[in-house]
Amino acid sequence: MKTLFSVLTVIAVIVAVWYAACVPMNIKGVLDQVERGGAVVVPETPKARRDASAFGLVVNNAFAIAEVWSVERPRLPAPHQVAVELWNTAVEKKISSKRSLIYHGKVTLSATLLGFAIGTGLGILLAVGIVHSKVMDMSIMPWAIVSQTIPIIALAPMIIVVLYSIGVQGLLPKAIISAYLSFFPVVVGMVKGLRSPDAMQLDLLHTYHASAAQGFWTLRLPASMPYLFASLKIAIAAALVGAIVGELPTGAVAGFGARLLAGSYYGQTVQIWSALFAAALLAAGLVALLGLMERQILKRMGEGS
């Protein structure tokens, strides 16, 4: 109960700060609008207002403050505007509609899940190789690290173009960009996890004359499970980012990325923010789902009470 109260307090503070931030962010647009409606504004010309500080404008034109939370194309939309847009586009619209966020979400989700699956599979395979082969450890690991230092926003168009030229388009290029971002945390986490058994446990298997495969299945793999799930949670969020980034440079017509891009073309900030929130909610749901799986599996492995 106390926790719930604390959580609600934090959320209330965030929302309050957001509402407050709308005032200086949107005041200029509001003043232009009310001036056109015939009201007297200080200072009088848009040119003079452009150079004035936002806070000064707020103080001098306090009568217009109420308007900043209901502008049609605000610089910063108010929370309730985003919430209404989310409701309208996610719940009210039919799922088949091009303007439904659920429709766009499904497009992005399918690329995310495919990319996550590819990335996780690749990451685990690489980690197994790295742990069992010194050559792979020394040759693959540096490249894996370098791969993550290249901004994905620079690389994504090239991946799309190259794949298009060999006839691959649609879901797969986006999934590959997702996989590119999500394999890395899995490699790092699994290498750490597969190496987590200590010397004594490895010696013990040695005294049983166990093969490397037996050591992998009985010791290394189960020991790596907590590490794997920590990595998977990072990887699924990264995969979602990858899918959205993959939708940006292609002029994709569907998906959260396309929604963001269209919103920025037409100055639809409310649409951008609602797509952002929808993506964040989706990511939170995916991570929560993995958390649930983790609890189930680790419980079966005897963790905790």
Partner 1 sequence: MNMQVISEAPSHTLTTEDLVIRARALDLTFETNDGPVHALKGVDLDINKGEFVSFIGPSGCGKTTFLRCIAALETPTGGALSVNGMTPDQARQKRAYGYVFQAAGLYPWRTIAKNIKLPLEIMGYSRAEQDRRVAQALELVELSGFGGKFPWQLSGGMQQRASIARALSFDADILLMDEPFGALDEIVRDHLNEQLLQLWARTNKTIGFVTHSIPEAVYLSTKIVVMSPRPGRITDVIDSPLPKERPLDIRDSPEFIEIAHRVREGLRAGHSDV
| Interacting residues with partner 1 (CB under 8 A) | 200-201, 203-210, 214, 218-219, 222-223, 225, 301-303
Shortest approach of partner 1 to residue 298 CB, angstroms? 8
Handedness of CA 25, 26, 31, 36 (dihedral sign): positive
Shortest approach of partner 1 to residue 209 CB, angstroms? 5
Shortest approach of partner 1 to residue 131 CB, angstroms? 18
Shortest approach of partner 1 to residue 193 CB, angstroms? 13
| Between 88 and 201, CB nearer to partner 1 | 201
| Between 44 and 303, CB nearer to partner 1 | 303
| Between 211 and 264, CB nearer to partner 1 | 211
How many CB atoms neighbour CB 74 within 10 A? 21
| Between 72 and 303, CB nearer to partner 1 | 303
| Between 87 and 208, CB nearer to partner 1 | 208
| Between 106 and 192, CB nearer to partner 1 | 192
Shortest approach of partner 1 to residue 215 CB, angstroms? 9
| Between 100 and 224, CB nearer to partner 1 | 224
Shortest approach of partner 1 to residue 18 CB, angstroms? 45
| Between 110 and 196, CB nearer to partner 1 | 196
Shortest approach of partner 1 to residue 280 CB, angstroms? 34
Rounded CA-CA distance 71/78 in Å is 9
- 240 close to 286: Cβ distance less than 8 angstroms: yes
Shortest approach of partner 1 to residue 221 CB, angstroms? 10
Full DSSP string of the chain: -HHHHHHHHHHHHHHHHHHHHHHHHHHHHHHHHHHHTT---SS-SHHHHHHS-HHHHHHHTGGGGGGGGS-SS-SS--HHHHHHHHHIIIIIS-TTSTT-HHHHHHHHHHHHHHHHHHHHHHHHHHHHHHHH-HHHHHHHHHHHHHHTTS-HHHHHHHHHHHHHHTT--THHHHHHHHHHHHHHHHHHHHHHHHT-S-HHHHHHHHHTT--HHHHIIIIIHHHHHHHHHHHHHHHHHHHHHHHHHHHTTTT-SSSHHHHHHHHHHTT-HHHHHHHHHHHHHHHHHHHHHHHHHHHHHHHHTT---
